[in-house]
Structure 1
């Protein structure tokens, strides 16, 4: 962690309904940094995102945004992309209409057309490579195209931090790669801090700068080659975890469960890749 971190979590703990969900979670994300938040279902990833968004108050620790304790709404610095479109896909809304909701979706009445508003929408669509289907109905778009529109909607407020909750879920390989490339470009070219939640590290491997691996309510953060190691994951899970290369694939063996993931050019990266699907 450094003084330049945009987001910093310090010793975050969350207890809900008498159950400890998170314990001692600390990590930071700097401007222009692309970070993967990786872990199985029930590990605490969603709770962690809710803490950052201010929707779930931590019982321990604190969240700092731009060096100051985070307020409820984050001062407009945070953009959030949900896993699924929260709009009836049968509604006659175009992609550009959905993006425009990022400007005035919380206001009553119909938005007044203006050149500046149209320009902001166009710029957001172009930033994610969605301008060619700007006038298509949202329900006619593929899952990957809808995710691009949701990212554009989050960008319309010009956030400094972009949070994404499982945006790669149920996408095909080509769509996954397209979304990851868009996010990497936003981070590295526009200086946005990007934190993406995912089960599978593999689609992110070649683009992310750091990883936060969450398991059993705890987390380890650092470079991928530092964190996806048997000793680190074993400490997180509280039991023996092996990370193995087999025939170009990587096996993560935790207890009695064995999970398999395809590595992206492991010989080139020298990075051990792990994946959990629980």
Structure 2
């Protein structure tokens, strides 16, 4: 199959509550496409994400998962189509968008403390005079406490464990009281206990503030019970729908153009037979292989 050929997406179910009209989407993509030269990552993407929805984004390396987040952040332009984020064109440094980037190791000698990182999330996007210092400090302390990071608030970030660093990154993302939370592989290199901590913090924000979550991951099992829909990107095409509709042998075989077997083992999804670079669901302890796209 030519990789510029789009795969027709599955229809998206209407989301209604008690027959009332759906709230306006916080993210809306229409006929969206992203390509690097002749290489099409995805095209004809129609997607609405509404307040409080948890969307997991899956796909093999190079399928455009991280690039999708960059588009939503206003850091990258669509090749075609349109995008509205909170009712307007995306822009860098959006006030109500929280972003948890992929993990990067910090030098042990760095002097940037956990509270400094959160402070950047709180007012690093502002122009002009900073907010009053006592108010900022109280707000930073409150945010750190909300993610359980108070004990190491004044510790340099480079001296924190991977799980502790992820708590601080989530605290930074929550500092703006986001209406949208974008997470790029936040579970990589974390043991199951820290994975549960990170996902519970994200879920707590979603439920307490009706924040929409776009969660890029190579491993769906740690968030399977939280996900409303899956966006699965592969071979220039995609599928969207509830996990039970997308994570099936039939759907993934059509998407990859080859036989893929999906089985459930003790409540976990295991994918077998997908091409190299596809998510290895069911293997959460796979070592970190570097940045994904």
TM-score tier after normalising by the smaller chain length: 0.7 to 0.9
1:59 is matched with which residue? 79
1:90 is matched with which residue? 109
**Deviations for 1:89-118, whole angstroms, at most 9, x for unmatched residues?**
422232111111223446799978622101
**Which moves more between the two structures, 102-111 or 147-156?**
102-111
Instruction: Write the distance in 2 (CA, Å) between the matches of 1:183 and 1:112.
Output: 27
Describe the SS at the equivalent of 2:25.
coil
2:212 is matched with which residue? 193
Q: Counting helix residues as a fraction of each chain, which structure ranks higher?
A: 1
- 1:163 partnered with 2:146: no
Q: Report the Cα offset of residue 39 of structure 1.
A: 1.5
- 1:17 partnered with 2:37: yes
Q: Are residues 148 and 4 of structure 1, via their aligned partners in 2, closer, same or farther at CA, if it must alter by over 3 Å?
A: same
1:133 is matched with which residue? 152
* Matching residue within 88, 92, 116 for 2:135: 116
- After superposition, residues 113-262 of structure 1 pair within 5 angstroms as 114-245=133-264, 250-254=269-273, 261-262=281-282
Q: Counting strand residues as a fraction of each chain, which structure ranks higher?
A: 1
CA RMSD of aligned residues (A): 3.0
Q: Are residues 113 and 199 of structure 1, via their aligned partners in 2, closer, same or farther at CA, if it must alter by over 3 Å?
A: same
Q: Report the Cα offset of residue 86 of structure 1.
A: 7.6
Instruction: Write the distance in 2 (CA, Å) between the matches of 1:176 and 1:48.
Output: 23
- 1:47 partnered with 2:62: no
* Runs of at least 5 residues in structure 1 that lack an aligned partner in the other structure: 265-276
Aligned length, in residue pairs: 265
TM-score by length of 2: 0.79
Q: Report the Cα offset of residue 235 of structure 1.
A: 2.3
**Deviations for 1:181-224, whole angstroms, at most 9, x for unmatched residues?**
11111111121111111101111112222221111232222211
Q: Are residues 261 and 20 of structure 1, via their aligned partners in 2, closer, same or farther at CA, if it must alter by over 3 Å?
A: closer
Q: Report the Cα offset of residue 131 of structure 1.
A: 2.2
Q: Are residues 192 and 108 of structure 1, via their aligned partners in 2, closer, same or farther at CA, if it must alter by over 3 Å?
A: closer
